Structure 1
Amino acid sequence: MKRGRLPLTALRSFEAAGRLESFTLAAGELFVSQAAISRQIRELEDLVGRPLFERRHRSVRLTAEGRSLLSVLTAAFDMVGDSLEALSGRKASQILKVSAEPSFAGCWLVPHLAEFQREHPEIDLVIDADPRLVGFRSGDADIAIRHSLNLSSWPRVEARRLAQVEMIPVIAPELSRSGRLLSTPADFLQHALLHEDNREAWQQWFAAAGAGPVGIERGAIFADGAMVLQAALRGNGVGLIDRDHVRDELKTGRLLQPFDISVPYGAFFLVARRFDALSEAAQSFVTWVERAYPGAGCGN
């Protein structure tokens, strides 16, 4: 097809929808309506003469032809974005965009940012706390930190394991002195249990502690570990938190760990489009995190 006839708007809509596997998310990214995305993709399918998506009740999935086209478009758009960014001089601005999993950002990254700034005062960080996988589109993010229970790789990006996650129970000193003895793990049930996302992690911890099957139907559920940490610090209950995220609080006595029992809960990963193509600022950040994060290199 001649370049002058390339349906660039439709191709951009298709690339976003295919990459995100959602017409709705693509519409949000491109600031258009979902109907516009659907119409553009229909026109593109009419042009090529075959379906690019399988439409389901509440989801879409790329066909084999769609996956083939997406791989070409994503690479092409990335190259265009990189070229425009280089021409505009944005990479030399030393502004580094980091997308971090909310628990990592709130519990460890933000409290330790001053250390990074002392080493690299020339780099200004822009931090986005977001659990979603980053596509590294132009203006998106330079480096990401993600958590996964069982995955270690994702399409179209490179991932480097940073640290294993070990969840431990912690409690504020004043709550431990409330008169309710903590002589066995089951005694935690006398207090409110604080949960991240769901109640499964506490179930796993009680099983590892030998407390047997425990019915846990109560306790506040928080969106991320940083909220659990704040609730635990304020004596609102017993938190189950990543060991690496409460080292400072345990060291200073702001939190206590009554039982030295932990459960594995996935791992954190550094994620980039390509590690060998990182900017100098991004490489400095990666080097610092791998050196400063307490669990880095342990059991990886």
Structure 2
Amino acid sequence: MKRGRLPLTALRSFEAAGRLGSFTEAAAELFVSQAAISRQIRDLEALIGKPLFERHHRSVSLTADGEALLTVLTHSFDRIGESLDALCGAKRAGTLIVSAEPSFAGCWLVPHLAQFQAENPEIDLVIDADPRLVELRGHDVDVAIRHSAKVTSWPRVEARHLGDVEMIAVMAPALAPRPLREPLDLLRYGLLHEDTRGLWEQWFAAAGAGQVRVERGAIFADGALVLQAALRGHGVALMDRDHVRDDLNAGRLVQAFDFSIRYGAFWLVVRRFDALSEPARRFVAWIERCYPGRKGA
């Protein structure tokens, strides 16, 4: 098709809907109505003569032809955006925006940022603590740090393993003056939970305590809040060993039992590692050097 006939508006609507997997989210990103997105995509399908989406009752999914077109469009729009950013100076040089899981941000990243800042005083950091897998396109985020229990890659981004998650039971020293004899002893002190009580049930089962029904204990939105509660003696917490290493070494927390369970991993997620800005390249190099979980990977 000649360049002069390229339906650019329809292609942009399709790229956003395919990338986000939703006509509604595409409409929000492009500041148009959902009806406008649907119409543009229908017109594009009519022009091509093939369906690009399979329509379901409450969702849509790309066809094989849609996947092929999306890959080309996303790559092309990325390159256009990067070129325009470079020409316009869209973001002040030296600024780095990092989107991180709240637990990772609160328990490890923020306590260790002083080291990065000391090594890179000219870089201004913006930390966005967000549990969602941020859509790097359409946002200013340079680097994302995400946790996944099973997933190891995501569409249209590059991911690099940062460190495995090893969950251990920790508590304030004053909370348990007597030695603990068996895992079920922890029930006397109250259990702290992040998002769900199910992880403790997995821990008890793996520790040989059988199928323990955990129905009590405060639930917190993220691990940083769980950590604060544990430090203040409010109960026993399951925490990533790397996130409480400093507290264990300083004696602010003790590990209840020499036992752990694996719970996925943290990942560095970017558009392309070979196209990182200088601040992003330095941050990635620093965190891969300093994050303790990576040393054992």
User: Is the Cα contact below 8 Å between 1:78 and 1:138 reproduced in 2?
Assistant: no
The structural deviation recorded for 1:138 is 5.3
Whether contact under 8 Å (1:225, 1:241) holds in the other structure is yes
Counterpart pick for 2:264 among 252, 263, 266: 266
Give the C-alpha shift of residue 57 in structure 1: 2.1
Correspondence 1:283-298 to 2 at 5 A: 283-298=281-296
Could you tell me which residue of structure 1 aligns to residue 76 of structure 2? 76
C-alpha distance in 1 between matches for 2:128 and 2:105? 8
Letter aligned with residue 51 of structure 2: P
Percent identity over paired residues? 71
Secondary structure of 2:265's aligned partner: strand
Instruction: Give the distance between the partners of 1:232 and 1:81, measured in 2 at CA.
Output: 45
When the two structures are aligned, how many residues end up with a matched partner?
Answer: 297
Post-superposition Cα deviations, 1:123-164, rounded to whole Å, max 9, x if no partner, equal: 011122223334432543212211111222222222211111
Structure 1 unaligned residues grouped into runs of 5+: none
The structural deviation recorded for 1:175 is 2.9
What TM-score do you get using the length of structure 1 for normalisation?
A: 0.91
Query: How has the CA–CA distance of structure 1 residues 112 and 65 changed in structure 2, closer, same or farther, with 3 Å as cutoff?
Result: same
**2:186 alignment counterpart:** 188
Cα distance change of structure 1 residues 176 and 58 upon mapping to structure 2, 3 Å threshold? farther
**Per-residue Cα deviation, 1:260-289 (whole angstroms, up to 9, x for no partner):** 111011111112222122122111101110
- CA positional deviation for 1:88: 2.0
Matches within 5 A, 1:248-259: 248-259=246-257
SS in 1 for 2:292: coil
What secondary structure, in the 3-state scheme, does the structure 1 residue paired with 2:121 have?
A: coil
Alignment of 1:169-248 (within 5 A): 169-177=169-177, 182-248=180-246
Give the deviation of 1:28 after TM superposition. Answer: 2.9
Measured in 2, the distance between the counterparts of 1:25 and 1:142 equals: 21
Q: Superposition pairs for residues 60-99 of structure 1, below 5 Å?
A: 60-90=60-90, 93-99=93-99
Whichever residue aligns with residue 197 of structure 2, its letter is R
Q: In the TM superposition, what whole-angstrom CA distance separates every residue of 1:185-239 from its partner, at most 9, and x where no partner exists?
A: 1011123222223223212211221111111122233332122212222333211
Over the aligned positions, Cα root-mean-square deviation in angstroms equals 2.1
Q: Secondary structure at the match of 2:257?
A: coil
Shift of the 42–219 alpha-carbon distance from structure 1 to 2, 3 Å rule, reads farther
Contact 1:95 1:126 in 2 (8 A): yes
Paired with 2:272 and 2:166, the residues of 1 have a C-alpha distance of 28
Give the letter for the 1:286 counterpart.
V
Task: Name the residue aligned to 1:49.
Answer: 49
Paired AA for residue 258 in structure 1: A
Equivalent residue for 1:131? 131
Question: What CA distance in whole angstroms lies between the structure 2 residues aligned with 1:223 and 1:57?
Answer: 32
Moved more, 245-254 or 31-40: 31-40
Decide whether aligned partners of structure 1 residues 249 and 60 sit closer, same or farther in structure 2, where only a CA change above 3 A counts: same
Amino acid at match of 2:255: Q
